[in-house]
Structure 1
Amino acid sequence: MGKKQLIMEKAIELFAQQGFELTSVQQITEHCGISKGAFYLSFKSKDELILAIIDQFMSQMISDTDYQVTNTQEDERTLYKFYFTIFKSSQKHSNFAKILMKEQSQSFNKELGIKFRYYDRLLEKIILTMMERLFGEKIENTKHDLVYCIKGFISIYSELILFNDVPVNLDLLAQSLVEKTNLLASQITIPFVTEEIFQLKRLTNDEVTIEQLLAILDQCLNEAEEPLEKESLSLLKQHLLEPSLSPALVEGLLKNVHDYSNCKWVAFLLRNYFELSSDK
């Protein structure tokens, strides 16, 4: 395990006990058994460390969920895969999931707020796309309200699982939420969240830019070891700079790179970028 990852994992243990605000860099270094100098070689500040941990957790959860939803061919399994993947990720990283839920409601740090909203918008996009695919025109007037209902399910059941030591059967939970979602999709007739409200609360000033994508791609290329991984990343970078590949070929390349753990996030970001570009 590298020093940066060690610091992140040990810091999570302290954050889980004390929260972000009450945990100092001194406490983190003592818990890691390293000097402050070693800490600052990896992170410029505690805030940078916190943002790195949030990125690591949320990018993994978002990219895994998007991959499952996008690549599940049977529509009747899509909702199940969505819920199962989200709750499995929370269960696997329960310490940090607890911190995240607490800090989202308590934090007054502007940078953290921007980070939380960014990932929240990505999750909303996955849910909205999934709802449109599964239910089509039947939910044209209620789909934005459904997004908030589903986010509510995730929040409420996550809190129940994480903070109450409730025995968890992820299969049963996913099945139960699929049933509830299907009922709402077929029965809702009076939505509160309209498209206007939905778009009004969404911020657009921190969308990922092509420059940021290129930087992330270059980092993945530097870390790539397998020939297929390198070739796929190189072709995606070339297509990003000068679009020339068919949608089917791009999708195949994205699937190739997603199979490598260090490339899941860039695969998700690229898929979203290419979809947005084709809509313009």
Structure 2
Amino acid sequence: MIKKQLIMEKALELFAEKGFESTSVQQITEHCGISKGAFYLSFKSKDELILALIDYFMMKFVSDIDYLVNNTKNDDDLLQKFYYTIFDSFRQHSDFAKILIKEQMRSFNEEFIIKMRAYDLSMDEVILSMVERLYGDEVKQTKHDVMYCIKGFMKTYSELFLFYDLPLDLDLLARSLVEKTNVLARHITVPFITTELVQMRQQPTNGEATKNQILEIIEKNINEIEESIEKESLLLLKQQLIEPTLSPALVNGLLENIRSHPHCKWISYLLRNYFKS
């Protein structure tokens, strides 16, 4: 296992048990069985470690949901799959979500706030594209309100996983929220979120990376993974960015090759959006 990954996984165990503030670098290194020097070769501080954890989980979360929305062909299944996947992810990563909520409540770290805002805006784009696809002109004036309602459902119902140890039927929960969302989408008549409000709120997101930024991430991923079909696909995608020669079908095939690799989820998301634009 890569040392950086080991530190993140072991630190997460301690953060879940003791909380972020009460966990020291000394405790993390002891839990990992490494020296402090080895820790500081990977992370400059505990704050940098928590930001790396946020990147690790949020990149996976946003890219997985984006892939689901863009690759579910049947509109009748899309919303239920969306909700099921969201809450299944909350259930699997509840320890991290609890830490994230605590950090958001106490943090005045500007980098943390900017990072979380960027991921939030990326998620907004995914949800909005789903709303437009499912409801079309029916929500032309209210689509942003519907998007915020969906985010409200995500936040509120996630508390059942985070604060209460309840046995939950994810399929039933997803079907229940589909029904609620359909009612809201088809009966909201007084929009609150105006175009002006949206424009005031929006800032460039992680998903709006430049070609040079994407190339840097690809290069980093290439150096991190061993020889494999994913590495070969990354090399071809890098060349496609520099000098486009491949057909869209072949590009999609290469993106599919890298999508499930743990080091490639975010670059897969960025490339899908880049080639789509």
Normalising to structure 1: TM-score of the pair?
0.91
- Residue 129 of structure 1 is matched in structure 2 by 129
- Residue 82 of structure 2 is matched in structure 1 by 82
Distance 2:234 2:262 in 1: 13
Distance 1:84 1:195 in 2: 30
Q: Percent identity?
A: 62
2:94–2:161 contact (8 Å) kept in structure 1: no
**Residue range with higher mean Cα deviation, 31-40 or 143-152:** 31-40
Q: Over aligned residues, Cα RMSD in angstroms?
A: 1.9
Distance 1:220 1:240 in 2: 15
Where does structure 1 differ by over 3 angstroms across 4 or more consecutive aligned residues? Answer: 243-249
Distance 2:245 2:132 in 1: 28
Distance 1:258 1:60 in 2: 10
Residue 154 of structure 1 aligns with an amino acid whose one-letter code is M
1:28-54 residue CA offsets vs partner (Å, 9 max, x unmatched): 223323221121122111121111111
Cα distance, 1:101–1:27 mapped onto 2, change above 3 Å:
same
Cα distance, 1:29–1:221 mapped onto 2, change above 3 Å:
closer
Q: How does 1:1-280 map to 2 (within 5 A)?
A: 1-204=1-204, 207-222=208-223, 223-226=225-228, 228-275=229-276, 278=277
Distance 2:203 2:36 in 1: 37
**Residue range with higher mean Cα deviation, 20-29 or 177-186:** 20-29
How many residue pairs were aligned? 275
5+ residue gaps in structure 2?
none
1:209-230 residue CA offsets vs partner (Å, 9 max, x unmatched): 322211211123231532x433
Residue 229 of structure 1 aligns with an amino acid whose one-letter code is E
Cα distance, 1:224–1:147 mapped onto 2, change above 3 Å:
farther
Normalising to structure 2: TM-score of the pair?
0.92
2:69–2:130 contact (8 Å) kept in structure 1: yes
Distance 1:200 1:273 in 2: 24
2:14–2:28 contact (8 Å) kept in structure 1: yes
Residue 233 of structure 1 aligns with an amino acid whose one-letter code is L
Distance 2:38 2:260 in 1: 33
Cα distance, 1:204–1:170 mapped onto 2, change above 3 Å:
same
Distance 1:105 1:192 in 2: 26
2:90–2:161 contact (8 Å) kept in structure 1: no
Q: Which has the higher contact order (CA 8 A, sep 6+)?
A: 2
Cα distance, 1:218–1:89 mapped onto 2, change above 3 Å:
same
